């Protein structure tokens, strides 16, 4: 996407955030990589870029929070799985004694 506009970059960022909100982490990774390439081409001296950069930063912060929540849920699920596995193993082991 050569010559990406601010509106295009904002749309890309909004799609990334929407994907994070529904838990499509593969899409988030793809969109974030694409977004990162385009962010690096923004002129830092352009005063019109400041509001866009603030919005992009807010999107990034929300995606990070959603990712943190997902990691916590996965950690809890893993802990519950390990607990059930230990209980089943103990039950099976007791049955063989």
List per-block mean pLDDT (blocks of 10 residues) for the chain, which spans 97 residues: 80 96 96 92 82 94 95 78 72 69
Nearest CA to 70 among 82, 80, 59, 78? Answer: 78
Note whether 17 and 24 are within 8 A (CB).
no
Taken in order of first residue, the domains within the chain and their CATH numbers are 6-95 (1.20.58)
Model pLDDT, residue 2: 52
How far apart, in whole angstroms, are the C-alpha atoms of residue 43 and residue 25? 29
Strands of the chain (E only): list them. Answer: none
Q: Which of 97, 2, 3, 5 is nearest to 52 (CA)?
A: 5
Backbone φ, ψ for residue 96 (5° rounding): -95, -5
């Amino acid at each position: 996407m050569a010559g990406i506009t601010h509106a295009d970059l904002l749309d890309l960022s909004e799609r990334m955030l929407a994907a994070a909100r529904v838990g499509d982490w593969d899409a988030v990774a793809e969109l974030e990589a694409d977004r990162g390439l385009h962010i690096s081409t923004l002129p830092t001296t352009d005063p019109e870029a400041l509001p866009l950069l603030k919005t992009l930063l807010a999107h990034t912060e929300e995606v990070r929070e959603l990712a943190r929540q997902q990691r916590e849920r996965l950690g809890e699920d893993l802990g519950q799985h390990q607990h059930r596995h230990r209980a089943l193993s103990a039950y099976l082991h007791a049955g063989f004694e």
